[in-house]
Structure 1
Amino acid sequence: MSLPAPLALVLILAGVWTLIVWPPFLRRILKDPRARDEKGAPTRFLTVHFMLISTSMILGLATAIIGVRALAG
């Protein structure tokens, strides 16, 4: 499969954007009082957000890699 350079750049930018945006959100989630119960155990709030963030970052990394590989030819 071959992609034009502008489309490959869009994939790279989308992947980099994802990798930049989600880590600060994760830091805010970890500090949120709803993230832990009274005993300090993780709550569903933390688990759901952690899964959302980790999945998004994995997909963002894959998108950036696909864009780089398409740009490289």
Structure 2
Amino acid sequence: MVLSRRASAFLIAVGLWSWVIWPTFLRNIWADERSFAGGTAQPFFLVHLVLVVVSLAIGTALGVLGVRGWRGARGARAA
């Protein structure tokens, strides 16, 4: 399957967006008073940490697919 350049650009944008938004979200959760008690991470923080890690993994995968699709579309046009 060959992705169009438009679809590939969208996937790249989603991947980049994930890497802009989720680290900011994690910094905000880290600073929240509900995240730590007595120096120990609370379930509130741990749940959000898992959410951030999974979202970054998905964003990375989509970005990689977008880059591969972009390169594949360029090769398909040349052929």
1:26 lines up with 2:26 in the alignment: yes
1:46 is the counterpart of 2:45: yes
Q: CA deviation at 1:40?
A: 1.1
| Root mean square deviation of aligned Cα | 0.6
Q: Which has the larger radius of gyration?
A: 2
Is there any run of 5+ residues in structure 2 with no aligned partner, and where?
73-79
TM-score by structure 1 length?
A: 0.95
Between Structure 1 and Structure 2, the one with more strand by share is 2
1:10 aligns with 2:17: no
| Partner residue, 2:68 | 69
State the percentage of identical aligned residues: 36
When the two structures are superposed, what TM-score results if normalisation uses the length of structure 2?
A: 0.88
- The count of corresponding residues between Structure 1 and Structure 2 is 72
Amino acid at match of 1:69: R
Structure 1: state its 5+ residue gaps: none
